[in-house]
Amino acid sequence: MPVYLWQNDQSRLVSFMTLIYCPDEPTPALTAREVCQVLRDAIFGRRTMIRACAQTWDELYAGMFMIDVEGWSMTIFNDREELDYRGGCVSPDGRRWSFDSGDRFGTDPIAMLSTWEHQNLYRTVKAL
């Protein structure tokens, strides 16, 4: 929201300046847990998942597979037909999460899924 500054000299407008509102606090980073919840919502049919790349899962075989879950852009790594998460995610509000090999075990959104959820996610992305 713009902030308007007026400078008056004997009731006459001398200058007009527009300042852009800049919050002091940066946008918080997206967490792996939030990304995992969006994936769960897609698995259970609460959100719609679509393929956001030209190749299907089978055509790609190994590489980055892009999906979109209602504005959440995600990249999942297809490691020779194995579902892996070596990509990232951008939320609709612009927050980001990206894979870091130095992260502790269990901080990967795919690793947070149960075995059943993991299998269903695999079937879902394979069918896109």
- As for how many domains the chain has, the answer is 1
Is residue 10 in a domain? Answer: no
Is residue 50 one of the residues assigned to a domain? Answer: yes
pLDDT value at position 38? Answer: 96
- Does residue 8 form part of some domain? no
Residue 102 domain-assigned? yes
Domain that includes residue 77, residue range? 27-127
Place of tokens 């959100």: 47
In a domain, 16, yes or no: no
Q: Specify if 36 maps to a domain.
A: yes
| Res 101: pLDDT | 59
DSSP the chain: --EEEEEEETTEEEEEEEE----SSPPPPPPHHHHHHHHHHHHTTSS-EEE-SSS-HHHHSEEEEEEEETTEEEEEEEESS-EE--SEEE-TTS-EEE--TTSPTT-STTTTS-HHHHHHHHHHHHH-
Is 14 inside any structural domain? Answer: no
Task: Please list the pLDDT of the chain residue by residue as tens digits (128 residues).
Answer: 444 444 444 444 444 444 445 556 677 888 889 999 999 999 999 999 999 999 999 998 888 899 999 999 999 988 887 887 767 899 999 999 887 756 666 578 988 999 999 999 999 999 99
Residue 22 lies in a domain: no
